[in-house]
Every structure is written in structure tokens, then in C-alpha cells.
Amino acid sequence: MSRRAKREEKVKSKIFSKLIVVAIFLGLVFFILKVAPNYVNDEITDKANLVINNSNVTRDLKKDLIIEDGIIYVAKEDIENFFDSYIYYDEKYNQIITTSGNQVTSMVIGEEYIVNNGSRVEISGTVLEKDDTYYIPFSSLKSTYNVAINYIEATNTVIVDSLDRKFVVADSTKDNGVKAYPTNFARNVDKIEAGETVTVVQNDEGQNNEIDGWTEIRTDTGKLGYVKSDSLTNEFIRRETIEPTKQIEGNVSMVWDYFTNYVYPPDRSGTDVKGINVISPTFFTLVDEGKGAITENVYDQGEAYIDWAHSNGYKVWPSVSNKSYIETTSEIMRDYNYRHDLIENIVSLVLKYDLDGINIDFEYMHDEDKDLFSRFIIELKPRLSEIGAVLSVDVTAPDGSEEWSMCYDRHVIGDVADYIVFMAYDQYGQSSTTAGTNSGYDWVRVNIQKFLGQEGVEADKIILGLPFYTRLWREYDDGVEKTPIYMNSIEENIPEGATRTWDDDLKQYYVEFVENGVTNKIWIEDEESIEAKLSLIEEYGLAGAAYWALDWEVDSIWDTISETLGVE
């Protein structure tokens, strides 16, 4: 071989060697970036792990779990994060109050019992106070949170499964290494044997969580990982997701039937109301200074009324009014025992009269009681859910005075209750010093947007309350006089020949006339104005409508409601 050939061979050899070095380097980079992370052991071994519905949430805990004498304690902050966002410390009675589903549980600090839906139950453990933190005896509250709890001592893992969620199991067809990630190039987090039963993890759509031929599972030790999908067999659904059911399919169409507690409920036998599926008679009011007592205006006439409503296919959600007893309402809201008594009274009335729901109509409250009124709704909802009764809550528009508008936390009420009823009237009400419409379309629309936006209420929780009345305004030099007039008597209050002007912003007719030197103004509520406001229900996807009040309407309005909402 010539010198030149030898030099060329030497150069080729060096190039080849460099290529090998580069290939090795790239391989190392690939391994470091792609493979090595799959072998990093990131398990938490220095404290108890918490697995909730096949998700290890240990890193998200604000406080470590405490496990003593077989009792599992979870910090109040973590209960709030994972199980009950409204868990509450009641300073007056030194107790924790927690709610979930259809359970309300109170726990006095240091006592080994709970009061669950009004019944005292002895438990193992008590609420502990350590380092300014309350620890809840979680393992004693399975029924409260409707969960199964299992502690695996070998892996120091607490497994919590919600009993209303889908639960799927399968058998392994072979001895299997459970991988940390869905790839062969991953470390084993656990091993299972042929024939061993494992839990199959479900995704948000309720399907097996499968990735590229791998299925995520949970082993009996509480370890989460992946096995090849074809290595699982005998898949079995032990429990399906329990979906909440609604009393009303489609739009809610509710009418309040107003009568005072000085008269008997009306006799409506032989009649029916087209276009509604819920009726709310004003059966119940708070007793002034009654600490949670309720006056019921039912009698034999009311029971006949309920039978009439049910025979016509209407659900009955009577209202519970505070009659604007602001101090009585405040006294009840500020004391857990009074709230509890009021709730027990409401539940008893629902059972006594076979009611389908309750409409809470508390108006005129101290704004500083806003959060406590929310507490009342939070504590009432599970008790009604337990007996299958619907909870709707009336609120005003999210602007206005402290005691009329600022006294509601609409976000919490809308989150907790089945429905929040926006009383979309009294835009210019009895306290107004200037004349104006009772319920202008543009004002209603803007406030619906506030409910959905700044108040954070889900559209399908909102019932739009509409008026079957307006006001006659008389303007004097020293102010205005206003008189409420029913929809069915508007025409008799307008003189013949008075000019009606359509206001396209308000979507209603306006009429102005002079009598005896006094200017009179009426913003008319009729089929056109109501239909325009009803159209907002479909536009924004609201739950339906309600109407104040029965017998104030014109007969033709029911055809408008029926056709617009699709309620026979």
C-alpha cells in the first residue's frame, strides 16, 4: 500500500472514530433526555401518601397526614381543598361544620362524637388542634363525604375512593412490572402477579386512561402506574358514576302564588295554568324574634292546594320568607343553633306536606351577614338533597344598596343551591325618587351578564324572575308618587287617546299623560315586553323563568310563555 493510500486510510479511520464518538455522545444525550427521567425515583417515602380517586395528591397537601391509633387525620385546609370547599370553624360553639352531598356534620373540638344531619353519633377520634391547625378525624367521616377509605400500612398510603364515581377493575394475565410511565423504558413502581385484580384508572370522560397501548392502573398497595393494555382481562365495572337528576327537564317555568298569612290559601280546584311546571305558594314565613321558628299558612285549604298542583303535574316549591325581619334574620344567621333549628323546621315541613322543593325568599338583610346567609344555604342544601327536595334562592340584581343588594354572595349561592332566582324587577322601585321602568330589557340583560361574569354563576343555575306588574308614576314639584299596578289592570289606568311609544332599549311601551295638571308615566308590561325578556333565557342558556305573581297577569301571557319556553 502506498504512503498516500495509508494516509487516506488513516484519515478515514479518524473520521470513523469521531463519528462513533459523536454517535455515542448523541446516544447518551438521548438517554439522558428521554430515557433516564423514566428511571428517576420521585416517590414520596418520608411521609404518608394520599391517593384520591386514583390520583396521588401528596405533593399538593398543605399539611402532612397524621395517623394515630388507627385514625387518619387530615388538616382542615386539605379537607377544604379536596373534599369540602365550605368547611367552617364556628367560633361561638368551638366546632367544625362540614358538608358534602346530603350530609351536614358538626364536630365540637375535643369531643368524640359528631352530629350528623341532626343525629348524634359516637366516633373514634376527635378534632385535634396542633400548631394552629385543626386536624379532622377523616377516617370517621366516611358517610359525610360518601367515600371508602383504606390505609395500606406496607406503603404508608391512604386510598380514598368516592362512592359516586365510576370504579373499574381488571385481572392481570401475567406477572407484570407496573411502569412509572407508559413505556418499556421506565422504572417499575410495583409488581403484580398473574390473576391479580387491579383498579383501572378512568379519565375525565369516564373511559380507561389508555396511552399508546398502555393502561393506567392502581395496585392494592396504592401504587399508580402503567401496564400493557393487552395484559389485562376480565374487566368489570363495579360501580357506575352516579349522575345527579333534575326534577325539571328543560326550562323551569315557575309562578309565585302570593297570599298573606292572614288569609287561607286560594281554592284553585278545577283550574290549570298553561306554561308552568312549578308553583310556589307563599306558605311559610319566619316568626319575628322566633330564633328559627316558622309560621305556616297551610291548613286543610293548603293541603288541597298541594293536591291540586300535583294533579296538574306541577312541582310545588313553596317560599320561605323572612318578611324583611332584618334583626330576626340577623340573629338566626349569626347563631349555628338557630340556623340548625330553622333548617330542621324547613325539612319537617317538606316531609309533612310532601313538597318537591323550597324557595328561600330572604330580602332586606344586613350586608355584614352576607357570608352567614351563605352558611345557611350551605347547611340547608344537603338536608334538602337527602330527601330529594330542590333548593332555589331569590336574590336581587348585583348592584344597589347594602341591605338590598350587597347582602348576597351570589357566587356561593349559585354554586350551592339548585337554582338562584334573579328577581329582575324594581329597577325603579318603591324607594326610587325618580320615575322609571320597573324592568327594562337592557337593564335585565346587563345584570344577567353580571351574574355570569363578575358573580361567577353558571348559566344553567339562573332562573330569571319577571314581573306581572308595573308602576304608575305621578310627578309633583316636591317629588314623585308611585303606585304598583298589576298587568291586568294597566289598561284601565291609561286614558283613552294617550299615546304609547315603543322604547327599543327597554323593549316596552311607555305612556305619558297629564291629569289635573300632574304628569303621569307608565312603563307597560305586556306580552311583548315579557317575550323580549324571556328571549334572554335561550340567548344565555339560563335555567328558566319565574313570575311575580299569579292572578296579576293577562290571560294571553301564558300562551307567550308556553311558546317561548316550550312548556305546555
Q: For the residues of 19-51, what is the DSSP string, one character each?
A: HHHHHHHHHHHHIIIIIGGGG------SS-EEE
Check: CATH 3.20.20.80 for 252-467+526-565? Answer: yes
Pairing of strands 103-108, 113-116: antiparallel
Instruction: Compute mean pLDDT per 10 residues along the chain, 568 residues long, and list them.
Output: 59 62 54 51 87 97 97 98 98 97 96 96 96 97 97 97 97 96 93 97 95 97 97 97 93 97 95 97 98 97 98 98 98 98 98 98 98 98 98 95 96 98 97 97 98 98 98 96 98 96 98 97 98 98 98 98 97
Q: Residue 410 to residues 75, 210, 399, 494: CA-CA distances in angstroms?
A: 28, 40, 12, 38
φ and ψ of 373, to 5 deg? -65, -40
Considering all CA atoms of the chain, what is the largest pairwise distance in Å, rounded to the nearest integer? 130
Check: CATH 3.40.50.720 for 49-150? Answer: no
Looking at residue 35, its pLDDT comes to: 47
d(CA 9, CA 349) in angstroms, rounded, equals 101
Looking at residue 400, its pLDDT comes to: 85
Q: Which residues pair with 391 in a beta bridge?
A: 358
Grid coordinates given for 522: 307608565
d(CA 433, CA 411) in angstroms, rounded, equals 30
Q: How many residues does the chain have?
A: 568
Check: CATH 2.30.30.40 for 165-239? Answer: yes
Q: 168, 179, 165, 176: which is closest to 234 by C-alpha?
A: 168
Looking at residue 29, its pLDDT comes to: 45
Quote the crossing angle between the two packed helices 336-353 and 326-333, to the nearest 10°.
100
Q: 161, 118, 13, 23: which is closest to 346 by C-alpha?
A: 118
Q: What SS3 class is residue 501?
A: strand
- The residue whose grid cell reads 388507627 is 70
Residue ranges per domain, the chain? 49-150, 165-239, 252-467+526-565
Q: Which amino acid is at 520?
A: N
Query: Cis peptide leading into 549, omega within 30 of 0?
Result: yes
Looking at residue 399, its pLDDT comes to: 84
Q: Which amino acid is at 24?
A: I
In this prediction the pTM is: 0.93
Looking at residue 1, its pLDDT comes to: 57
Q: Which residues pair with 419 in a beta bridge?
A: 392
d(CA 487, CA 399) in angstroms, rounded, equals 26
Looking at residue 23, its pLDDT comes to: 61
Looking at residue 33, its pLDDT comes to: 46
Q: Which residues pair with 390 in a beta bridge?
A: 357
